[in-house]
Structure 1
């Protein structure tokens, strides 16, 4: 397949296969700085990094960098006591309590989670919701609080109607917010009370409404991977190799990374990894090679952790070799 010089990706002549490495932050140095500041309880730096990143640029990764850092739940409460009307502090407190809540619940199946774990989980999510609603009132134009409220809502099982309203609140403020769309895709998937049909329809419609080069096209391979995960190995392999899957992946590729306006930086890297895995499972080696080449050996945890949770890089390497790269 020809290199994609005029189709969104320009790589030059192939000179060999690069080594594979896990790219935690999609190449965004501010995410690493945010994580360091969170560990150091450096609120001034945390706030400064958030203030420097406009809402329309999607602050999702920055928020999770601080939200996933253990210990933030202690010092952010002290910040709130000093700055009770800081929407930044309220949002950080909210997202940290979401992550902290899931720490208590764990990733185990519901039947393997104790009543006490669920009580702690729900308590932390309810606390998060209170802070997030306060942040939304203080900054009515922000998307971030509504994005996090989508996650608390799923954990608290608020139902599809209310969940949809939270998604709509987020996209009224930012119509193509990737994080909000990723959360809504999860909300409408079968395991959370939706269906495969609703999930695929949501992915298709979201991509069709977005401009060319959109990172939202990642929803299409993600939806196929989600259905593949729900099936036993044999039926899953058969599903991924259907003409319907091949056609939808191809159409989404044309509207995203094959488009001249596509940007590989940031969310584009995770999109390329999602397409690489989906095309690999679909048996389309040429398209998989195209995506592997474009990633330049930079591996994102999602979606490869679905294949090998302890070593997503190993999963990436295995499928890259199978694709002939």
Structure 2
């Protein structure tokens, strides 16, 4: 879950690219403003109209990053004692709020006080998400957010797998749950590079062509690049012929395939591929991604680079355009 830190307008670079927490989705932009204003009545009406399980989970994930939701959502929970919806938003917000307390620092740099707040907020999240799941057993969203909270609480492998599988039972092929599973299998979370790549490759090959799951391959290679801390070693890894071909194949099977469904938030996947192609020295492929993105910058993956994400996007976009001429 990306931290929603910059208010509700787009944070725009001088020549156009803008960090956009709504992914260019106008309906979501309205709900983000309602969440910031604490207008639960209007927000609830909008949420009730999202009937697709994956879309509802995606919307809640964005709303969970709105700072200040925690100041009013408890009143909504109390006002609707039999409803799962306010519990879901509260649980999701407590997950994101917990990670805000922990920060992105390495574990050794997180203070004892930060750890205490982190775990306290995650404990609230887990209780509320499980209660929401009990109220409406067919819901996908609780199991998606429980994957994130479970990683923060160092849940054992068997329990973590159960949460992922519970999500897929409710929504097979759910991209965001696969993204969380990929994180769970990363070396930094107790997995390994081998597990991570095997999971990504297996999921993509098991899915029909055009599936959004192709993004997993690019995410796995970027995670491997991050583990090498960028620099010469990271660049050498991404520029190997095997990695380059895997990125091309994944794009062909997903975002470039004619059957790609363009789910809500689809520009996030293009941002992922744009950075992966750019870092792997493939400017023509990167340029194609940037052209399809337009000016909608998503925090991930650009937050992994130094400086402002929109500026990082602009640098790589302009470099790709120049190199591809």
- Report matched runs for 1:104-115 at 5 Å: 104-115=101-112
Stretches of structure 2 that go unaligned for 5 or more consecutive residues are 1-14
- Report matched runs for 1:260-275 at 5 Å: 260-264=258-262, 266-275=264-273
1:185-225, CA deviations, whole angstroms, 9 ceiling, x for partnerless residues? 11100100001111111111122222322222111111101
Give the aligned CA root-mean-square deviation in angstroms.
1.7
- Residue 79 (structure 1) shift: 1.8
Q: Partner of 2:172: helix, strand, or coil? A: coil
Asked if structure 2 preserves the Cα contact closer than 8 Å seen for 1:196 and 1:227, the reply is: yes
Greater length-normalized contact order (CA 8 Å, ≥ 6 residues apart): 1
Among 208, 214, 220, the residue aligned to 1:217: 214
Matched, 1:143 2:140: yes
Partner of 2:286 in structure 1? 288
Partner of 2:73 in structure 1? 76
Partner of 1:305 in structure 2? 303
Larger displacement relative to structure 2 (260-269 or 270-279)? 260-269
Among 51, 55, 63, the residue aligned to 2:52: 55
Larger displacement relative to structure 2 (243-252 or 263-272)? 263-272
1:230-274, CA deviations, whole angstroms, 9 ceiling, x for partnerless residues? 114111111001122112111111111221112456332111111
Partner of 1:87 in structure 2? 84
- Report matched runs for 1:205-284 at 5 Å: 205-232=202-229, 233-264=231-262, 266-284=264-282
CA 1:125/1:279 → structure 2, altered by over 3 Å: closer, same or farther?
same
Matched, 1:200 2:197: yes
Number of matched pairs: 307
Partner of 1:164 in structure 2? 161
Q: TM-score, normalised by structure 1?
A: 0.89
Q: Partner of 1:49: helix, strand, or coil? A: helix
Asked if structure 2 preserves the Cα contact closer than 8 Å seen for 1:273 and 1:299, the reply is: yes
- Residue 46 (structure 1) shift: 2.0
Q: Distance in 2 between matches of 1:300 and 1:207?
A: 23
Q: Distance in 2 between matches of 1:79 and 1:316?
A: 38
Q: Distance in 2 between matches of 1:66 and 1:322?
A: 33
Q: Distance in 2 between matches of 1:230 and 1:45?
A: 43
CA 1:287/1:153 → structure 2, altered by over 3 Å: closer, same or farther?
same
Partner of 1:9 in structure 2? none
Q: Distance in 2 between matches of 1:295 and 1:61?
A: 19
- Residue 23 (structure 1) shift: 2.8
Q: Partner of 1:59: helix, strand, or coil? A: helix
Partner of 1:29 in structure 2? 26
Partner of 2:61 in structure 1? 64
1:78-114, CA deviations, whole angstroms, 9 ceiling, x for partnerless residues? 2222212211011111011112212222222211212
Larger displacement relative to structure 2 (51-60 or 273-282)? 51-60
Asked if structure 1 preserves the Cα contact closer than 8 Å seen for 2:17 and 2:296, the reply is: yes
Q: Partner of 1:323: helix, strand, or coil? A: helix
CA 1:178/1:34 → structure 2, altered by over 3 Å: closer, same or farther?
same
Asked if structure 1 preserves the Cα contact closer than 8 Å seen for 2:140 and 2:170, the reply is: yes
Partner of 1:13 in structure 2? none
Q: Distance in 2 between matches of 1:318 and 1:41?
A: 37
Asked if structure 2 preserves the Cα contact closer than 8 Å seen for 1:221 and 1:278, the reply is: yes
Asked if structure 2 preserves the Cα contact closer than 8 Å seen for 1:218 and 1:275, the reply is: yes
Larger displacement relative to structure 2 (258-267 or 142-151)? 258-267
Q: TM-score, normalised by structure 2?
A: 0.89
